[in-house]
Structure 1
Amino acid sequence: MTTIAFTKGHGTGNDFVLVADPDGELDLTPADVAALCDRHFGVGADGLLRAVRSRSIDVGADALAEDADAEWFMDYRNADGSIAEMCGNGIRVFTRFLIDEGLAELASGDTLAIGTRGGVRDVQRTTDGFAVDLGRWRLEGGEPLVHVKSLPVARPGVAITVPNPHVVIAVADESELENADLAYIPVVEPDPQGGTNVELVLPADPLVKDAVGRIRMRVHERGVGETLSCGTGAAAAALATRHWAGASAPNDWRVEVPGGVVGVRMFPAEDGEHVSLSGPAELVFRGTAEI
């Protein structure tokens, strides 16, 4: 057995096991990750974040080619041990972890480049945590149909990549949002290759207040199940709601998730429109575990 040091952290209730492995010496199998994330027999988390220098992991070469300043790579695994492209809440917690461990510095107004499987992402400090540029988003074609247990009928969805895949559906009222049974994996037709996250969105009434859009959201994450928050999911939910609302909809959004509130903002960039996510990032305890 190998003993590893870990830190537990969360962003609006989306929780993670964080492990520092600067030189890429740990060989964490999917079974190891699943055991650490198990809420009954392990530490318990929605996923695992391994901090490894980009030069010490094969996929880090792409990050360094994209941005030579991306010293650190966020090796993100879902709770079942599967690999995901990115994690919006996770990268904020990951940044907090790097700073607290003395592995990186981030002064107010500066930007920290982090490598991920979805590309390099830039993180900045905010008054209540961190903000991350999730990059260019993409509206996918088609109209997937989503079946959610306890919802009376299937709903047409909007497929959005940011860079994780998402399908967003609207619910009619608060009762539908609360009664949807996300303990079961929603069925999406056609079935997306590689799976997808599914977001249920309830617009506020009024939708826009003080030039900020407002929605509530629940999410089922592929490889995890229902989580208290999903960062890229919040971005996808806001983007889908803006799409439904039309040209007059705002670019700033307040997204309420079961674990708290995050901010989403759309803004122009050289390669197209980007979307950013802001919110808190907390580290709650440290410990050791045997794998």
Structure 2
Amino acid sequence: MNWNFTKMHGAGNDFVVLDGVRQTIEMTPERARALGDRHFGIGADQILLVEPASSPAADFRYRIFNSDGSEVEHCGNGARCFVRFVHETGLSDRNPLRAEIATGIIVLDEGDDEQVTVEMGSTRFDPAALPFDAAGLATRTEGADTLYTLPLQDATAARGGGSDLPATVEISAVAISNPHAVQIVDDVDQAPVERIGPLVESHARFPRRVNAGFMQVVDRNTIRLRVYERGAGETLACGTGACAAVAAGIRRGVLDTPVRVHARGGVLTVDWDGSSLRMTGPATSVYTGRIDIDQLVFSMALNR
């Protein structure tokens, strides 16, 4: 079965985008993993699937699959690429667009300056919304935020990690359709993202795993950010992670809206007034192609 696809990225967070309106796409974890594989497939952090809406309140349905094959609730950088893809391929000329995601409806507006603004939906801080089992953890209040002390020692020992890693990290818990655990670090370049990120992402306290954010506060309107995403590893940018970090920083009293978020792949702007959450950033098409998905999956199986 041959599928047409478009390779896109939003600030370096890269995607394989599929039109499920004009072609039949039956996505499976195996197919998503094959497409996302950077050695044998096309290569991407996530696979984006555009489908007809099931809700009359939306223009399209938008689904997101990580490169490990798991389906997730939301992807902010992907949402910007989604609306540009819909416009560039002629699926619709509506602007703004309303997209149906797993947790509701989001609104996307493509500007004349090649920037896309996404109304990101609700922001919640109740641990149950992530979900996050916070029972028995030490906490402290900073501003309007609750910080949780998350133990890493047992997780580190179980994975053979080095003794130089901290026994605990202090996190803010933020749900923006998908879950985030945000910690403040002195320098994101020196932060052990590749070592602590997996420990937080797969921590037993997060039954559905979590995106681990590492935020450096530069000034009250600027941060630097790295995110270890569940199911994808560290990416060059994470849209919902940027939103989660900004919301956490504003609640903690160290940031003021709007905030420029410097990720490794580019700059995003997040505006949060305590209720309405908007993110603005680039969305770029790289190339289009056609792939025999069944042959790809078969080839992947042979190379395991």
TM-score by length of 2: 0.81
Matched, 1:132 2:132: no
2:174–2:244: 8 Å Cα contact kept in structure 1?
yes
Shift of 1:187: 3.1
Q: Equivalences for 1:219-230 in 2 at 5 Å?
A: 219-230=227-238
Q: Aligned residue for 2:178? A: 164
1:182–1:226: 8 Å Cα contact kept in structure 2?
no
Shift of 1:75: 1.5
1:183–1:225: 8 Å Cα contact kept in structure 2?
no
Q: Equivalences for 1:254-269 in 2 at 5 Å?
A: 254-267=260-273
Q: Equivalences for 1:172-211 in 2 at 5 Å?
A: 172-174=186-188, 176-177=190-191, 179-182=192-195, 185-187=198-200, 191-204=205-218, 207-208=219-220
Shift of 1:182: 4.8
Identity of aligned residues (%): 32
For 1:254 and 1:114, locate their aligned partners in 2 and report how far apart those are by CA, in whole Å. Answer: 25
What SS class does the counterpart of residue 139 from structure 1 fall into? coil
Aligned residue-pair number: 263
Q: Aligned residue for 2:239? A: 231
Query: Which runs of 5 or more structure 1 residues have no equivalent in the other structure?
Result: 55-59
2:50–2:62: 8 Å Cα contact kept in structure 1?
yes
Which 10-residue stretch deviates more, 187-196 or 36-45? 187-196
Cα deviations by residue, 1:27-86 (Å, 9 ceiling, x for unpaired): 1211011001000000000011111101xxxxx3xxx1xxx2412111211111111001
Q: Aligned residue for 2:137? A: none
1:264–1:276: 8 Å Cα contact kept in structure 2?
yes
| C-alpha distance 104-144 of structure 1, shift in aligned 2 (>3 A) | farther
Q: Root-mean-square deviation (CA), in Å?
A: 2.1
For 1:185 and 1:20, locate their aligned partners in 2 and report how far apart those are by CA, in whole Å. Answer: 32
Cα deviations by residue, 1:79-106 (Å, 9 ceiling, x for unpaired): 1111100110001001110101100114
Q: Aligned residue for 2:77? A: 89
For 1:131 and 1:184, locate their aligned partners in 2 and report how far apart those are by CA, in whole Å. Answer: 28
Matched, 1:27 2:40: no
For 2:29 and 2:180, locate their aligned partners in 1 and report how far apart those are by CA, in whole Å. Answer: 23
What SS class does the counterpart of residue 198 from structure 1 fall into? strand
Aligned AA for 1:286? T
Q: Aligned residue for 1:50? A: 49
Shift of 1:135: 1.2
For 1:76 and 1:96, locate their aligned partners in 2 and report how far apart those are by CA, in whole Å. Answer: 16
2:261–2:269: 8 Å Cα contact kept in structure 1?
yes
Shift of 1:219: 0.5
Matched, 1:113 2:98: yes
1:129–1:280: 8 Å Cα contact kept in structure 2?
yes
Matched, 1:145 2:150: yes
For 1:84 and 1:144, locate their aligned partners in 2 and report how far apart those are by CA, in whole Å. Answer: 26
Q: Aligned residue for 1:57? A: none
| C-alpha distance 183-244 of structure 1, shift in aligned 2 (>3 A) | closer
Matched, 1:250 2:256: yes
For 1:182 and 1:227, locate their aligned partners in 2 and report how far apart those are by CA, in whole Å. Answer: 14
Give the counterpart of 1:216 among 191, 200, 224: 224
Shift of 1:252: 0.8
TM-score by length of 1: 0.84
